[in-house]
């Protein structure tokens, strides 16, 4: 399957873009939340991180993108040790927003997307025409170009999440990390949201790494499933994951997996 | 007009207008970051600074500035290391500096009346050297806001994403909190320690009711702020009332008006 998509999109799936070696993470002096994580993310991958609540899947994303400092091990991004890595514009991030997002924050959709360009410009420098053009293009890619002047808080959950995707897209990133992007979004919008992600991955060749609790939907969409429960307990295809999850204990402890499409 | 025959009113008016411009410009970031209470804490820290200045015979605005900058950086460090809850750190500094102020005052009596004007502000106390100091601080604050506008906005809106995109959010947070101490120190002579947070918070929450984009919200906040300060100084002068109290009450009245009107609009 990997080889097939290879040919279709011209993306070299053998190229490592992120290499995680024996990484452990914990808060302060408490015990490890993540232990001995080793994982490679290849160019063009579409990976879903799954695991029970508190398993560390969100933490793992935050460690990879440098929001949390790991204790041991090493992380290389595009071949560069993370400590020396400078090209952060190649990395897009869509944080878990819906839960504690301030709906009264006075910014428009266009302003939110432009924020993605801020780090490209020096202190005191204003955004230029190129930034505005990129903002337009990013909004068009997610189909939100007609909502530019709307306040971000006035949008539906699905529309808002598209705007955050556009903000990640505005720097033409090679990889986007998404943390529970569909939580709080109604089922219909979820469908078109996943279509958008497929477009980013298949047509634009963007690597996607997503955390989700919606295992049923995730297994229909992604290329690889990575099970996280303090350590990595599986790294497999969705088909294999579904098969194994019915017989074996995939998370290393008694965790029930719901594979039907559950929605709340 | 009769009011402008007095130099001190003119000085007070200039100081008031400058503070009226600065306070909401800093306030919008503090309010949206849920940092509103930090203004109050830093104001109390400034009071300890004022007491120290009066005791040592130094310019109280400068000692207030020094102490609030030191405290603001310490508070931010405590918040980021998460060793102490954010609001507990604020309470610690608020009560601690109030205690320090009271103790310094009891050490040296004799400037109690002077201190009263620092508590509640009095445009009479704005001296001509204060005006220069206020103007210099104001230029620093406004320049810094222009330079770091993008970074402040992104960090306020979404700290994690800002950090991932390469913005030095820790430095930006420190800059914001130092700017807040500058704004508070320069506001002390006019509105006093106890009412400063009103100037920083009320015009901003009034402007937020209009649900506009970021720049328009700042301008609306500036409008309400300047309106309240100018009208407040006039009203206080002619009715012989406390200037700071009058200004804050006018701000509150505008907020209540806008808030009720806003509710009426959204209910339709």
Q: What is the DSSP string of chain A?
A: -HHHHHHHH---TTSEEEEEEEEEE-STTSPPSEEEEEEEEETT-EEEEE-STTSSHHHHHHHHTTSS--SEEEEEETTEEGGG---GGGEEEE---GGG--TT---BHHHHHHHHHHTTS-TTPPP-HHHHHHHHHHHHHTT-GGGTTSBGGGS-HHHHHHHHHHHHHTT--SEEEEESTTTT--HHHHHHHHHHHHIIIIIT--EEEEE-S-HHHHHHH-SEEEEEESEEEEEE-HHHHHHHHHHS-TTSSS-----S----
pLDDT value at residue B264: 64
Q: Output the pLDDT for position A96.
A: 84
Reported as half-sphere exposure (CB side, CA atoms, 13 A), residue B28 has a value of 31
Residue A78 CB coordination number (10 Å): 16
Q: Judge whether residue B268 has pLDDT over 50.
A: no
Task: Say how far apart CA A182 and CA A195 lie, in whole Å.
Answer: 12
What average pLDDT does chain B have?
Answer: 88
Residue B149 has pLDDT above 90, yes or no: yes
Taking the C-alpha atoms of residue A144 and residue A136, their distance in angstroms, rounded to an integer, is 9
Quick one: pLDDT band at residue A263, thresholds 50, 70, 90? very low
Nearest-by-Cβ selection for A105 from B32, B146, B150? B32
Those of residues 153-172 in A touching chain B at CB distance below 8 A are 153-154, 167, 171
* A149 within 8 A of A179, measured Cβ to Cβ: no
Answer whether A41's CB lies under 8 Å from A231's CB.
no
The closest alpha carbon to A179, from A56, A87, A41, A90, belongs to A56
pLDDT single digits (tens) B47-86: 999 889 888 888 888 899 999 999 999 988 888 887 777 7
pLDDT over 90 (residue B247): yes
| Backbone conformation region of residue B167, classed left if phi is above 0, alpha if psi is from -120 to 50, else beta | beta
- The span from the CA of A256 to the CA of B126, in Å, is 70
Residue A157: predicted pLDDT: 86
What DSSP letter does each residue of B238-255 carry, written as one string? Answer: HHT--HHHHHHHHHHHHH
**What CA–CA distance (Å, rounded) separates A91 from A174?**
6
**Percent of chain B clearing pLDDT 90 (strictly above):** 59
Distance CA A149, CA B212 (A): 10
Residue A6 has pLDDT above 50, yes or no: no
The per-residue pLDDT for A5 is: 43
Mean pLDDT of A92-115: 86
What are the distances in angstroms from CA B138 to CA B108, B133, B182? Answer: 32, 8, 8
Decide: A41 and A18 in contact? Cβ < 8 Å. yes
Instruction: Mean pLDDT check: name the lowest of A155-164, A245-254, B151-160.
Output: A245-254
Chain B environment of A124 (Cβ under 8 Å) = 146-148
Disruptive mutation site among A106, A124, A160, A209 for chain B (greatest number of B CBs within 10 Å) = A106
pLDDT value of position B266: 53
Could you give the CA distance from residue B180 to residue B218 in angstroms, rounded to a whole number? 16
A145-154, A166-175, B124-133: which has the minimum mean pLDDT?
B124-133
C-alpha to C-alpha distances, B178 to B51, B157, B185, B198, nearest whole angstrom: 20, 19, 11, 19
- Could you tell me if A104 and A153 are in contact, meaning their C-beta atoms sit under 8 angstroms apart? yes
ipTM of this model?
0.87
Q: Is the pLDDT of residue B19 over 70?
A: yes
pLDDT at A117: 94
Of B160, B167, B212, the CB nearest to A119: B167
The pLDDT > 90 percentage for chain A reads 51
Q: Tell me the percentage of chain B whose pLDDT exceeds 70.
A: 95
Mean residue pLDDT of chain A comes to: 86
Is the distance from CB of B159 to CB of A102 less than 8 angstroms? no
**Residues A81, A85, A87, A93, CA torsion sign:** positive
Q: Which residues from A are below 8 Å from B216, CB to CB?
A: 106
CB contact under 8 A, B161 and A66: no
Residue of A nearest to B157 (CA): A105
């Amino acid at each position: 399957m990997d080889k097939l998509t290879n040919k279709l999109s011209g993306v070299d799936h053998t190229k490592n873009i992120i290499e995680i070696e024996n990484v452990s993470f914990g808060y302060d002096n408490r015990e490890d939340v993540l232990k001995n994580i080793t994982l490679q993310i290849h160019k063009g991958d579409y990976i879903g991180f799954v695991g029970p609540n508190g398993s560390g899947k969100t933490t793992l994303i935050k460690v990879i993108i440098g929001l949390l400092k790991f204790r041991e091990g090493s992380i290389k991004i595009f071949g560069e040790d993370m400590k020396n890595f400078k090209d952060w514009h190649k990395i897009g991030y869509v944080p878990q927003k819906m839960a504690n997002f301030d709906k009264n924050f006075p910014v428009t959709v266009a302003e939110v997307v432009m924020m993605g360009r801020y780090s490209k410009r020096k202190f005191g420098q204003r955004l230029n025409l190129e930034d505005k053009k990129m903002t337009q293009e990013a909004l068009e890619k997610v189909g939100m170009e007609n909502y530019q002047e709307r306040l971000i808080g006035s949008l539906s959950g699905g529309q808002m999440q598209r705007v955050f995707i556009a903000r990640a897209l505005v720097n033409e990133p090679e990889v986007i990390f998404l943390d529970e992007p569909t939580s709080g979004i109604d089922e219909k919008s979820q469908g078109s949201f996943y279509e958008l992600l497929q477009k980013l991955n298949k047509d634009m060749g963007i690597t996607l790494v997503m955390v989700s609790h919606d295992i049923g939907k995730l297994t229909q969409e992604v290329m690889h499933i990575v099970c996280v429960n303090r350590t990595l307990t599986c790294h497999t295809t969705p088909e294999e994951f579904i098969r194994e999850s019915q017989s074996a204990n995939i998370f290393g402890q008694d965790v029930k997996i719901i594979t039907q499409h559950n929605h709340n | 007009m009769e009011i402008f025959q007095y130099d001190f009113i003119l000085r007070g008016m200039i100081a008031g207008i400058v503070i009226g411009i600065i306070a909401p410009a800093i306030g919008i970031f503090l309010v949206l970051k849920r940092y509103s209470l930090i203004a109050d804490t830093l104001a109390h820290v400034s009071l300890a600074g004022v007491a120290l200045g009066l005791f040592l015979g130094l310019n109280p605005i400068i000692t207030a500035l020094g102490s609030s900058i030191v405290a603001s950086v310490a508070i931010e460090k405590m918040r980021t290391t998460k060793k102490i809850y954010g609001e507990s750190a604020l309470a610690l500094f608020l009560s601690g500096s109030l205690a320090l102020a009271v103790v310094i005052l009891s050490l040296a009596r004799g400037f109690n009346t002077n201190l009263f004007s620092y508590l509640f502000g009095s445009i009479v106390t704005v001296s001509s050297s204060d005006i220069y100091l206020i103007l210099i601080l104001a230029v620093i604050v406004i320049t810094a806001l222009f330079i770091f506008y993008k970074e402040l906005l992104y960090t306020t809106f979404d700290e994690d994403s800002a950090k991932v995109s390469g913005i030095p959010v820790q430095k930006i947070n420190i800059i914001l909190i130092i700017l807040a101490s500058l704004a508070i120190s320069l506001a002390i002579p006019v509105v006093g320690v106890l009412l400063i947070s009103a100037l920083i918070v009320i015009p901003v929450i009034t402007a937020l009711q209009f649900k506009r984009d970021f720049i328009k919200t700042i301008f609306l906040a500036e409008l309400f702020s300047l309106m309240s300060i100018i009208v407040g100084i006039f009203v206080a002068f002619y009715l012989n009332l406390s200037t700071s109290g009058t200004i804050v009450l006018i701000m509150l009245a505008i907020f209540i008006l806008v808030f009720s009107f806003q509710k009426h609009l959204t209910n339709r």
